[in-house]
């Protein structure tokens, strides 16, 4: 089982609010792996919109992304690109 860990920075002015959270959940809905975000010692399932919103990650927050499963590399690349592109905002 492949496990990848990467640190990302929230670039959105409003942090991880509803629109980016929705984009993350949509991006992950067909992936076969487990994805979790860790922020301020709290780890959540990144496939849950409510969990992402509960992190209340503001702009410039550092989030640790863990991806584990068969399509881990592909999923990690998509997540990194999404954060980099500010989820299309």
The Cα 54–Cα 22 span in angstroms is 13
Q: Which residues are catalytic?
A: 17
- The answer to whether 87 and 28 are in contact (CB under 8 A) is no
Q: Burial level of 15, CB count in 10 A (0-12/13-18/19+)?
A: middle
Q: Would you give the DSSP letter of residue 16? A: S
């Amino acid at each position: 089982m492949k496990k990848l860990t990467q640190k990302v920075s929230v670039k959105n002015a409003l942090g991880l609010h509803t629109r980016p959270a929705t984009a993350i959940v949509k991006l992950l809905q067909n992936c076969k792996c487990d994805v979790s975000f860790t922020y301020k010692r709290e780890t959540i399932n990144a496939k849950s919109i409510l969990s992402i919103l509960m992190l209340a990650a503001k702009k410039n927050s550092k989030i640790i992304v863990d991806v584990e499963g068969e399509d881990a590399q592909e999923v990690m690349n998509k997540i990194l690109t999404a954060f980099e592109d500010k989820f299309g905002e």
